[in-house]
Amino acid sequence: MGNILEPQCGQGRLLGDGEASLGSRYQTDMFPRKLGEGQFSKAYVCWNKNKSSQCYALKVFVAASEGADHATNEIRVLHALGQHPRIIRLIDVDNQDPRNMRLVLELCEGGQLFDRLVSLGRYKEAKAACVAQEILEAVAYMHGKGIMHRDLKPENILMVSPDSDINIKVCDFGIAKMVDPLDKIVIPDQVIQRWRKPPPRATSFKGSDFYLAPEMIRQEEYGPEIDIWALGVTTYSLICGSLPFVGDDGVEDLRGTYRKIVNREIHFEGEAWDEASQMVRDFILQMLCIDPSQRLTARKALEHNWVKAADFSESDDDVDDADDVDDDRSDRSDRSDSSLVIDELDDEGGPPPGCMSKNVEKLGHAETLHAALEPVSMWLM
């Protein structure tokens, strides 16, 4: 495989630094421990040579134009965002050689929210409210900086620690987009913030199928409201462990999935929803308004009663919950990733349609899948 910290093509240099490459500052094991792998990059554990106790995540992008584009965009967006407690922090970068882009990022040792949800089966409502609040804090900050994520989903939300189910950071800004800043209209005793609507705001088909907003599927111009929709889908999944919009023929039925999204065919059925409060249903429905202008903004969502009632002290100190989670994780510790599915099965012995299992993750990005399909507008006629 070669040294992943050294340039494979040409001689890259750290921007603003005299040292030859990231390899002069950081190191990995001889066989680096992989943290994860996406469509355009892989992530490994590395550490600072001068502070061996300080570990980081090394993100290596694929040697292709798409990988370079994602890397360049992620660097630009992370620089624009600066530091926020709910957003992954950029530590170092080597981007002199576009064929061999590498970033050093803050390390979150708890893995993806997706994997945590698969392990737990579903979140208890109190913990789900805490996670939703933290994601909203990140989204409100992003939108205030004129940035929309465009691929918000549990796979792109990291758990800071394996010991906490509610401490998160948003990551993966490879397809994020910078949009026009906020207008500020000052009225006595209040400031109203609203987005400008440049013509167009964005029209490219980006994101992941099950989290796409209706306006994107309809191929209309869209704005930061798409992130709110994606968070509504994520919150639904946290509460019940399943996706809200899945075609009748399962997760590979994209036509059926898209139809259900644009018509907002959503159901609150099953044991999880029998136990859930009316407040969380109201929160989700306000995030999943078909008309983007009627959706809650991130700031408004933070003021929703369900989010404001989030109690972090009780949520992560529930002894009974912790015991149950520890038992559940120990039972699953010797299972491969492909076997990590929710233990609720349908009559044929497989996971129910839309359950948060690895078969959902492997479908990949809508951007790639959509390119090979007929125009979406034809599906919706």
Residue 299: CATH number of its domain = 1.10.510.10
My answer on whether 82 and 130 are in the same domain is no
**What local confidence, expressed as pLDDT, does residue 31 receive?**
64
My answer on whether 221 and 274 are in the same domain is yes
Residue where a domain stops, chosen among 73, 106, 139: 106
**What local confidence, expressed as pLDDT, does residue 205 receive?**
57
59 is in an annotated binding site: yes
My answer on whether 238 and 366 are in the same domain is yes
Is residue 45 domain-resident? yes
**What local confidence, expressed as pLDDT, does residue 226 receive?**
96
My answer on whether 47 and 168 are in the same domain is no
Phi/psi of residue 215, nearest 5 degrees: -65, -30
pTM: 0.77
Residue where a domain stops, chosen among 106, 123, 147: 106
**What local confidence, expressed as pLDDT, does residue 77 receive?**
94
My answer on whether 133 and 189 are in the same domain is yes
**What local confidence, expressed as pLDDT, does residue 81 receive?**
95
Is residue 326 domain-resident? no
Is residue 94 domain-resident? yes
Domains of the chain: total: 2
The whole domain housing 72 covers 22-106
**What local confidence, expressed as pLDDT, does residue 207 receive?**
66
The catalytic residue positions are: 151
Residue where a domain stops, chosen among 106, 137, 153: 106
Give the whole-angstrom CA distance, residue 31 versus residue 345: 38
My answer on whether 242 and 358 are in the same domain is yes
- In tens digits, the chain (381 residues) has pLDDT values of 345 554 333 222 233 333 456 777 888 776 678 888 877 888 989 888 887 778 999 998 877 667 788 888 999 999 999 999 999 999 998 866 777 788 999 999 999 999 999 999 999 999 999 999 999 999 999 999 999 999 999 999 999 999 999 999 999 999 999 875 544 433 444 444 444 444 335 556 566 889 999 999 999 989 999 999 999 999 999 999 999 999 998 888 899 999 999 999 999 999 999 999 999 999 999 999 999 999 999 999 999 999 999 988 755 554 344 344 344 434 433 332 322 222 333 434 444 556 665 444 444 444 443 433 334 434 443
